[in-house]
């Protein structure tokens, strides 16, 4: 069973605030949402909140590993709470919609580099680009 959001916050050393809880709730309900989307939903429940504080909270939650931030080239950052696996994303070039794609390998890095240059490689960032059924 999944930990409640307040337990997740506590176990990451974060205090439990109404805004953090609301942001976690919104992101878990709307995977791959943008910061502006989070602000829109959170404002409905919490009333006026500062945009900057939502950006700050999203940064903190991503840095602490409660959320994953996806930064597709040329579009705004998106957030999701599916953090416990190595999965990839398929993004529509036309409307920007994002969907999850399970990793065929499962472990990071799932692509072998032909040359490591002596690096210890721990991740290959894989993004699939194309057109969604609505835009095709
Ligand atoms: Zn599309
Ligand atoms: Zn995802
Ligand atoms: Zn993969």
Task: Pull the structure tokens for residue 76.
Answer: 């705004």
Residue 2 has pLDDT above 60, yes or no: no
Rounded Cα gap, residues 97 and 47, in angstroms: 27
Say what the pLDDT of residue 3 is: 66
Pairwise CA distance, residues 109 & 12, whole Å: 25
Structure tokens at 49: 């909140």
How far, in Å, is the centroid of ligand 3 from the Cα of 89?
Answer: 10
CA of 125 to the centre of ligand 3 (A): 8
- Ligand number nearest CA of 28 is 2
What's the pLDDT at 84?
Answer: 87
Torsion sign over Cα 93, 96, 102, 103: positive
What CA–CA distance (Å, rounded) separates 38 from 36? 5
Identify which ligand lies nearest to the alpha carbon of 125.
Answer: 3
How high is the pLDDT of residue 107? Answer: 86
Average pLDDT, integer, range 6-25: 96
**CB within 5 A of ion ligand 1: which residues?**
92, 94-95, 132, 135
Tell me the β-bridge partners of 127: 89
pTM (2 d.p.): 0.88
Other CB atoms within 10 Å distance of the CB of residue 136? 8
The mean of the pLDDT values for the chain is 93
Given pLDDT bands bounded at 50, 70 and 90, which one contains residue 72?
confident
DSSP 8-state class, residue 85: S
Among positive and negative, which fits the CA dihedral 40, 17, 29, 90?
positive
Residue with the two structure tokens 């057109």: 131
Question: What is d(CA 126, CA 2) in angstroms, rounded to the nearest whole number?
Answer: 27
Q: Provide mean pLDDT across the span 72-97.
A: 92
């Amino acid at each position: 069973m999944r930990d409640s959001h307040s337990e997740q916050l506590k176990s990451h050393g974060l205090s439990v605030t109404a805004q953090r809880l609301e942001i976690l709730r919104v992101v878990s309900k709307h995977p791959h949402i943008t910061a502006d989307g989070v602000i829109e939903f959170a404002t409905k429940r919490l009333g006026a909140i500062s945009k900057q504080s939502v950006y700050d909270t999203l940064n903190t939650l991503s840095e602490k590993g409660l959320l994953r931030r996806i930064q597709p080239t040329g579009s705004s950052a998106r957030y999701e709470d599916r953090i416990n696996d190595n999965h990839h994303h398929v993004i529509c070039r036309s409307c920007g919609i994002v969907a999850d794609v399970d990793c065929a390998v499962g472990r990071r890095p799932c692509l072998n580099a032909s040359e490591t240059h002596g690096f210890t490689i721990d991740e290959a960032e894989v993004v699939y680009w194309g057109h969604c059924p609505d835009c095709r």
